[in-house]
Amino acid sequence: MVRIIKFITGNEHKVKEAKGIFQKFGIQLEYTDLGYPEIQGNLEDVARYGAEYAASKLKGPVIVEDAGLFIRALNWFPGTYSSYVQETLTNKGILKLMNDVEDRYAEFRSVIGYCTPKSEPEIFLGTVSGHIAYKEHGNHGFAYDPLFIPDGFNKTFGELTRNEKNEFSHRRRSLEKFASWLNSKSD
């Protein structure tokens, strides 16, 4: 049986990645740019609220995702401000903040929120660790990808193909947790 899940997002890069990941789990993805109120709070709060809101608006099961880049030396900034910072400060601004900073540890986090009109929201966290490059590299991926060198690599996400990133990204990990949970629930 092929399941169809509706992904509520305005980011087409996420949709392309999620489609590739879901193929492996027999889930077909549709996407809708419904938009949902992003409440103040951490990624989990945003995903939980967004999923509940969208499930009740669309009267069906949905997923939403809230993601971000967390840099240890900057007190985990931009974190929940990642969207705003990407649009305003941009990657160049992040690199300026990281000028001469030795501790370059960072992680991407992705939280998937799933909800149906009849159930409470469920959340699934995926993270990937790495460090911030000294300059941008690569033009694959999107947003912060050219800055982020995942552990075990000497290339940024911006230099990896979508398939390569999808093997172990934060999004792969959160979506895989969700897919396994969903499949086990109805077996």
Residues within the interface to ligand ITT (CB under 6 A): 9-11, 14, 65-68, 82-83, 86, 108, 141-145, 171
Q: Which of 33, 66, 103, 187 is catalytic?
A: 66
Nearest approach in angstroms of CB 33 to ligand ITT is 7
Assigned token pair, 27: 């889930």
User: What residues contact 167, with CB distance under 8 A and at least 6 apart?
Assistant: none
Picking from 39, 20, 34, the residue whose alpha carbon sits closest to that of residue 63 is 34
Is residue 114 within 8 A of residue 178, CB to CB? The reply is yes
Residue number with CB closer to ligand ITT (2 or 37)? 37
Nearest approach in angstroms of CB 92 to ligand ITT is 14
Residue number with CB closer to ligand ITT (144 or 182)? 144
- Annotated catalytic residue 33: no
Residue number with CB closer to ligand ITT (89 or 183)? 89
3-state secondary structure of 133: coil
Nearest approach in angstroms of CB 7 to ligand ITT is 8
Task: Look at strands 62-71 and 105-115 and give their pairing.
Answer: antiparallel
**Quick one: DSSP state of residue 14?**
H
Distance of CA 60 to the CA centre of its chain: 22
Nearest approach in angstroms of CB 91 to ligand ITT is 10
Residue number with CB closer to ligand ITT (31 or 182)? 31
Catalogue the active-site residues.
Answer: 66
